[in-house]
C-alpha cells in the first residue's frame, strides 16, 4: 500500500488589502456587524491582470521549493477552483503550462469543498501506484464573481491560492480516512447562475447572473448540521478518537460556524486553526492557505494528525484525517542522484526535449502507418471478403 505524504506547501495572496472600514464606504454595513457575525476583519483582492492561474502558479512554486522539487517532477496537477480564468480551457492546463510542468492536469469543481475533494483524489492515484508526485492546488479569484453592491455577499469573500505537493511513501501517512458528500437539493442556496442554462446574454447580465447569490441563513444551517458530524464520522473511520486530533483545519467561511463545530466535537479552540480575520472566505483556497500558515506558525509538527473539513456550493461537504509527514530524502539512483538544482533543471530540459523528439518521431510514422494499412486493406480485398486473415 502506498500513502500520499505531504512534502511541500505554499500560499499566494494578492497584496491589496480591503478592510471592513473600506467596505463601510461601499455598502450599508459596519465593521462591528462583519466582525461579530463572521470574524472577518480584512480580505485580499486581486487587481486586474492577476487571475486564478497567477496565484496558483505562485503557490505551486512555493510548495515545490519547500519540497525541493522542480515542475518536471510533477506527475499530475489537480486544481480545485470555482473561479477559473476562462470557462474553457480548464484553468489546470493554463497552470500546467505557466508552471512549465509536463504532466496531466484537471480542474475539480466542488465549491469551497474542492480542495479536500482534490486531496482525497490525489491520494487515490498514489495508492494505486499510478502517480508518484501530485500537485494539489486550491485557488480562487472569487472577487470577480461578487456583486460589490450586495452587502450579503461582498463582505464575506477574498482571493488567494494554496498548494500542497503529495508524494508516494510507504509510511502510513497523508490521508488516513475521508468522507465526501453532496446534496444537490440545496443547490439554489449558493450559486452563480451564469452557464449553459443561462448563457451570457444582456438579459442574464442585467439579472446579475454572473454574480454569486447566497441564502446565507440556509448555508449557515447546513454548515452547522454538517461540519462536526462529517469530521466525527471521518475521525471514526480512521480508527482514532477526537483526543488523537492535534489540529482541525476547517474551511474558513464564518468564525461562528467553526467555533460551533469545535464545541460539537468537543475539541478545544487551541486545536482549531482560524485565519478568517485576515483573508475572509477564499472558497477552495481557504484550507490549503490555512494549512500552510499553520505549518509556518509551528502549529503542525511531524506526525501530527489533522482533520480538514469543508463545506460549500453544491451543496457539498468533505472531511479528511491527514497525518502530516515531512519530506523523506528522495530516493534516487544512478544519474538521477544529481545533487544540485542546476543539474536537476538541466535534467528537466533534457526530458522535455526528449519527449518532444519522440512525439515528433511518432508523428512522422503516421503517413507510413497509413500507407501500410491501406496496402493491407487492398490486399485483403483482392483475397476475398475483406476480412483479415
Ligand atoms: O463557503 C460557504 C459559503 N458561505 C457561507 O458559509 C455563509 C454561511 N452563512 C453565514 O456565514 C451567515 O449566514 C452570514 C454571515 C452570511 C449572515 O449572518 P446571519 O447572522 O445569518 O445574518 P442574517 O442572514 O440572519 O441577517 C441578519 C441581518 C439581516 O437584516 P434583517 O433582515 O434582519 O433586517 C440582513 O439584511 O443582517 C443584515 N445583513 C447585514 N447587515 C450589515 C446582511 N448582511 C449585512 C452586512 N452588514 N454586510
Q: Where do the domains of the chain lie, and which CATH numbers do they carry?
A: 3-171 (3.40.47.10), 177-363 (3.40.47.10)
Establish whether 103 is a catalytic residue: no
Average of per-residue pLDDT values in the chain: 89
Average pLDDT over residues 236-255: 97
> From ligand 1's centre to the CA of 382, what distance in Å?
78
> From ligand 1's centre to the CA of 130, what distance in Å?
45
- Confidence at 103, pLDDT banded by 50, 70, 90: very high
Confidence check: pLDDT of 378 > 70: no
Ligand 1 in reach of 312 Cβ (< 6 A): yes
- Confidence at 42, pLDDT banded by 50, 70, 90: very high
Ligand 1 in reach of 20 Cβ (< 6 A): no
CA-CA distance, 15 to 13, in Å (whole number)? 6
> From ligand 1's centre to the CA of 228, what distance in Å?
21
Average pLDDT over residues 217-225: 96
CB 173, CB 230: distance < 8 Å: no
Q: CA nearest 219: which of 112, 315, 109?
A: 315
Cα-based angle 134, 109, 287 (whole degrees, multiple of 5): 65
> From ligand 1's centre to the CA of 214, what distance in Å?
10
125 phi and psi, to 5 degrees?
-65, -35
Task: Name which of 78-82, 88-92, 326-330, 335-339 the model is least confident about.
Answer: 335-339
> From ligand 1's centre to the CA of 281, what distance in Å?
14
Ligand 1 in reach of 236 Cβ (< 6 A): no
- Confidence at 340, pLDDT banded by 50, 70, 90: very low
Q: Which residues lie across from 17 on neighbouring strands?
A: 44
CA-CA distance, 39 to 46, in Å (whole number)? 21
CB 228, CB 245: distance < 8 Å: no
> What is the pTM for the complete model shown?
0.86
Average pLDDT over residues 350-354: 49
Residue nearest to atom 2 of ligand 1 (CA): 312
Catalytic residue among 51, 154, 189, 251: 251
Ligand 1 in reach of 256 Cβ (< 6 A): no
> Which pLDDT belongs to residue 380?
60
Ligand 1 probe mutation, 187, 216, 312, most atoms within 8 A of CB? 216
Q: Which cell goes with 1?
A: 500500500
> Which pLDDT belongs to residue 172?
87
> Which pLDDT belongs to residue 1?
83
Average pLDDT over residues 128-154: 97
Average pLDDT over residues 39-65: 97
Confidence check: pLDDT of 174 > 90: yes
Catalytic residue among 20, 51, 112, 154: 112
Which is higher by pLDDT, 316 or 327?
316
Percent of the chain with pLDDT over 90: 82
Percent of the chain with pLDDT over 70: 84
Task: Name which of 103-107, 116-120, 238-242, 372-376 the model is least confident about.
Answer: 372-376
Residue 304: count of CB within 10 angstroms of its CB: 16
Confidence check: pLDDT of 133 > 70: yes
Residue nearest to atom 48 of ligand 1 (CA): 151
> Which pLDDT belongs to residue 122?
98
Ligand 1 in reach of 223 Cβ (< 6 A): yes
- DSSP code at position 15: S
> Which pLDDT belongs to residue 370?
42
Establish whether 251 is a catalytic residue: yes
Establish whether 198 is a catalytic residue: no
> Which pLDDT belongs to residue 6?
96
Amino acid at each position: 500500500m502506498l500513502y500520499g505524504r505531504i512534502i511541500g506547501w505554499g500560499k499566494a495572496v494578492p497584496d491589496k488589502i480591503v478592510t471592513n472600514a473600506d467596505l463601510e464606504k461601499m455598502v450599508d454595513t459596519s465593521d462591528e456587524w462583519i466582525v461579530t457575525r463572521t470574524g472577518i476583519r480584512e480580505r485580499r483582492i486581486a487587481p486586474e491582470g492577476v487571475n486564478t492561474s497567477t496565484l496558483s502558479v505562485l503557490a505551486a512554486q512555493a510548495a515545490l521549493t519547500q519540497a525541493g522539487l522542480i515542475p518536471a517532477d510533477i506527475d499530475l496537477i489537480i486544481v480545485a477552483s470555482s473561479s477559473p480564468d476562462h470557462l474553457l480551457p480548464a484553468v489546470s492546463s493554463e497552470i500546467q503550462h505557466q508552471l512549465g510542468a509536463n504532466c496531466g492536469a484537471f480542474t475539480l469543481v466542488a465549491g469551497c469543498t474542492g480542495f479536500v475533494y482534490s486531496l482525497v483524489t490525489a491520494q487515490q492515484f498514489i495508492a494505486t501506484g499510478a502517480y508518484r508526485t501530485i500537485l494539489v492546488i486550491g485557488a480562487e479569484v472569487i472577487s470577480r464573481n461578487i456583486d460589490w453592491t450586495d452587502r450579503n455577499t461582498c463582505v464575506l469573500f477574498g482571493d488567494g491560492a494554496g498548494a500542497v505537493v503529495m508524494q508516494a511513501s510507504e509510511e502510513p501517512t497523508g490521508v488516513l480516512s475521508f468522507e465526501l458528500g453532496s446534496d444537490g437539493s440545496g443547490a439554489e442556496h449558493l450559486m452563480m447562475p451564469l452557464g449553459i442554462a443561462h448563457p451570457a446574454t444582456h438579459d442574464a447580465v442585467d439579472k446579475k447572473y454572473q454574480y454569486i447569490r447566497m441564502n446565507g441563513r440556509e448555508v449557515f444551517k447546513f454548515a452547522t448540521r454538517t461540519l462536526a458530524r462529517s469530521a466525527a464520522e471521518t475521525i471514526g473511520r480512521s480508527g482514532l478518537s477526537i483526543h488523537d486530533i492535534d489540529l482541525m483545519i476547517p474551511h474558513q467561511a464564518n468564525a461562528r460556524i467553526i467555533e460551533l463545530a469545535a464545541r460539537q466535537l468537543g475539541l478545544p479552540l487551541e486545536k482549531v486553526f482560524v485565519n478568517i480575520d485576515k483573508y475572509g472566505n477564499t472558497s477552495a483556497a481557504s484550507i490549503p492557505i490555512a494549512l500552510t500558515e499553520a505549518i509556518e506558525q509551528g502549529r503542525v509538527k511531524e506526525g501530527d494528525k489533522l482533520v480538514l473539513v469543508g463545506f460549500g456550493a453544491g451543496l457539498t461537504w468533505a472531511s479528511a484525517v491527514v497525518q502530516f509527514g515531512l519530506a523523506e530524502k528522495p530516493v534516487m539512483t544512478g544519474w538521477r542522484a544529481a545533487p544540485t538544482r542546476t543539474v536537476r533543471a538541466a535534467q528537466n530540459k533534457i526530458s522535455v526535449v526528449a519527449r518532444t523528439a519522440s512525439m515528433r518521431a511518432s508523428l512522422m510514422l503516421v503517413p507510413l502507418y497509413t500507407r501500410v494499412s491501406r496496402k493491407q486493406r487492398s490486399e485483403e480485398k483482392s483475397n476475398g471478403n475483406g476480412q483479415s486473415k
